[in-house]
Structure 1
Amino acid sequence: MRERGHKKNTFRQVDRLLNTYCEGCFLHKQLVTDHGRRHAHRFCITKCTVGEQLKMMGSQLNEE
């Protein structure tokens, strides 16, 4: 039961990060315009600090 609450909390944190930093991100929009969607996505996952946090949270969820 405790694990379920932890997962719920992690999902809330992910949602908060996405809504706060990713939604409407100017850098992402500009990268899509200049280099395409795949390049922008790759940047977010590998070089953006928020993307790194999201990736870490996803890994934690996969371990549980």
Structure 2
Amino acid sequence: MTRNEILAEVETLLNTYCNGCFLKKHHRQENGKRYAHRFCINECTVGEKIKKCGQKL
């Protein structure tokens, strides 16, 4: 995969699953922005997919 294809895949994942995510919104309100961001990267399955795409770059 080329760099542009990987970036397009990440953009698609973000637009499809992360925009309007209930869990992100909930964690941000209850525990703060830092906790919500950490949750999305380390525990969310979509975050894991995005992390794998980032490793390809």
TM-score (norm 2): 0.95
1:2-55 residue CA offsets vs partner (Å, 9 max, x unmatched):
xxx611111110000000000110110000000000000000000000000101
Structure 2: how far apart are the matches of 1:46 and 1:9? 23
Can you give the 5+ residue segments of structure 2 that lack an aligned partner in the other structure? none
Q: Which has the larger radius of gyration?
A: 1
Can you give the 5+ residue segments of structure 1 that lack an aligned partner in the other structure? none
Q: Percent identity?
A: 49
Q: Aligned residues, how many?
A: 57
State the partner residue of 2:48: 52
Give the alignment's Cα RMSD to 1 decimal.
1.0
TM-score (norm 1): 0.85
Runs of 4+ in 1 over 3 A off after TM superposition: none
